[in-house]
Structure 1
Amino acid sequence: MEVVILPGTEQIAVLVADAIENLLADRPEAVLGLATGSSPLAVYDELARRYDAGRISFARARAFMLDEYVGLPADHPELYRNVIEREIAGRVDFAEGAVQGPDGLAADLPAACAAYERAIAESGGVDLQILGIGTDGHIAFNEPGSSLASRTRIKTLTGQTRRDNARFFDGDVDAVPQHCLTQGLGTIMDAHHLVLVATGENKAEAVRQLVEGPVSATWPATIMQHHQHATVLLDEAAASRLERGEYYRETYATKPEWQGI
């Protein structure tokens, strides 16, 4: 796992966008994994700027979403399919149908989850997966206690996650759905490159556990320690509880420029 500590969200967004731009230059048909929440928004803004400048194209790329709420109306602004359309898919040149997500309105949710797993596998797998992390250490909607080998499935959201996400529902925690469909930890670990973004002091303990704690279902993101190509991008606040912060800074400062992330 590579840990990169940068001054703020702007520098993080540039680094992630560089990785995606380079990936699409080498493989225009690459498969991206898209996350929602606050963490990737600056990345999506940077990608949209580069698309507008003619530097990058998604025309041959595909993308899969991490998760989706269960039961929100199809036109609800916080349905993750609509969020992804608003924040990135509709701002660049993805082909129609190239961005897929789990179907939280399906009549048969287990069948929808199985179909989503098949779709990811048939695409050849995700090349670069963008991730955020919850204050309780969840990635996607794999809440504490999730199986480290889990696949796409229905999950019940914890009270903490619903309180954290209430900011997207005008502060009304009761408006946040209780259930979701989410890629499992095993599904996420199949991606070729994991890129996790965390900013703010409220993520500092989750980051400490992710990077320096034991691998445990209590902190689901810690499974990333077993991934062969995982990058964790942090601002100073999110990195504030790391014991080896100076080592991570030194390692990145002396890294060969050709390596990228």
Structure 2
Amino acid sequence: MNVRVFASEQEAAATCASLAAAAIREKPFLVLGLPTGRTPLNVYREMVALHRRGEVDFSRVTSFNLEEFLGLSPDDPGSFRAYMERHLFQHVNLAPERIHFLDGSAEQAERECIRYDARLAAVGGLDLLLLGIGSNGHVAFNEPGESLQTASHRERLSRESRHAMAAFFGEDVSKVPLAALTLGMGALLRARRVILLAFGADKAAAVTAMVRGPITTRCPASFLQLHGNVEVWLDTAAGRGLETSRE
């Protein structure tokens, strides 16, 4: 893992957006894996700004989001699809037919996961994957446990994850769904390039376990140690447990 500690979250976010824009200019048909939650918000703002300045064209990019709450329809304000519309999709020229999402309202979750994996396989997998990390070490919604699943699947959300998502439900954790559909570890580890972002002191322990700790299902992000092209971009608070130099 190549670890970079930035002076601020904003600096890391701007650098990440610029890297994504450069990757799209180099490969206009890029397949991009996109996360949700608080961590990527500044990255999406920077991507929108770059697009408005004419520095990046998303028209031929294909996107796959990593997760969706189970039981929420795409137009539910609490859904991750609605989140992406608010923060990125409606502000850039991503073609609607190139936007891919797990459908949390699908009647058969298992069949929906199989459909999603098949669609991702059909385009050759992810070229560039942007990731966050949960305070408990989860990536996408692959939660710590006795085992991890390689394929997309239904996942019961941990208490930590539901509390982290409460801000998107009026700070009422009782409104956060109990489960989600998520890409599995296989799709994440097959991505050709991974940029993992982590900001804030509450992520420091998970970042240290991911980078310095053993590879264990108790910290799903630790499996990224097996990947040959992972960059971990942090602010100073998230990187305080690591011996790295500030960029």
- Could you state the TM-score of these two structures normalised by the residue count of structure 1? 0.92
Structure 2 match to 1:78: 78
> What is the CA–CA distance in structure 2 between the aligned matches of 1:170 and 1:4, rounded to whole Å?
33
Rounded Cα–Cα distance in structure 2 between residues aligned with 1:75 and 1:18: 30
Amino acid at match of 1:144: P
How many pairs does the alignment contain? 247
Partner of 1:99: 99
Q: Tell me the SS of whatever aligns to 2:97.
A: coil
- Give per-residue Cα distances to partners, 1:206-251, cap 9 Å, x unaligned: 0110111111000110001010100100000000111x224xx4xx
- What is the alpha-carbon distance in structure 2 between the residues aligned to residue 71 and residue 13 of structure 1? 31
Cα deviation, residue 73, structure 1: 3.9
The equivalent residue for 1:257 is none
Determine if contact 1:68/1:81 at 8 Å carries over to the other structure.
Answer: yes
2:186 equivalent in structure 1:
186
Partner of 1:34: 34
Which amino acid in the other structure matches residue 240 of structure 1? Answer: R
Contact 1:148 1:186 in 2 (8 A): no
What is the percent sequence identity of the aligned residues? 36
What is the one-letter code of the residue matched to 2:222? Answer: T
Aligned mates of 1:18, 1:214 — CA distance in 2: 32
- CA distance in 2 between counterparts of 1:198 and 1:189 reads 18
2:52 maps to which residue?
52
Partner of 2:244: 245
Q: Which amino acid aligns with 2:4?
A: V
- 2:104 equivalent to 1:108: no
CA separation of 1:220 and 1:58: change in aligned 2, threshold 3 A: same
Contact map agreement 1:146 1:220 (CA 8 A) in 2: no
Q: Tell me the distance in 1 between the aligned counterparts of 2:217 and 2:73.
A: 32
1:25-75 CA distance string (max 9 Å, x none): 111011100100011111111110010000100001100000000112443
Q: In 1, Cα distance between the equivalents of 2:64 and 2:40?
A: 15
Q: Which contiguous aligned blocks of 4+ residues in structure 1 show a shift greater than 6 angstroms?
A: none
Instruction: Identify the residue that residue 61 of structure 1 maps to in structure 2.
Output: 61
Runs of 5+ consecutive residues of structure 2 not aligned to the other structure? none
Q: Give me the whole-angstrom Cα distance separating, in 2, the residues matched to 1:62 and 1:37.
A: 20
What is residue 209 of structure 2 aligned with on the other side? 209
For structure 1, list consecutive stretches of 5 or more residues without a partner in the other structure.
254-261
Please, which moves more after superposition, 145-154 or 82-91? 145-154
Q: How high is the TM-score relative to the length of structure 2?
A: 0.97
Structure 1 residue 96 displacement after superposition: 1.8
Contact 2:73 2:103 in 1 (8 A): no
5 Å-filtered alignment, 1:125-164, equals 125-145=125-145, 147-148=147-148, 150-164=150-164
Secondary structure at the aligned position of 1:245 is classed as coil
Instruction: Give 2:142's aligned amino acid.
Output: N
Instruction: Please name the residue that 2:4 is paired with.
Output: 4
In the other structure, the counterpart of 1:88 is 88
Measure, in 1, the Cα distance between the counterparts of 2:244 and 2:106: 45
**In 1, Cα distance between equivalents of 2:20 and 2:74:** 29
Q: Which deviates more, 17-26 or 179-188?
A: 17-26
Tell me if structure 2 keeps the 8 A contact 1:147–1:185: no
The structural deviation recorded for 1:148 is 4.4
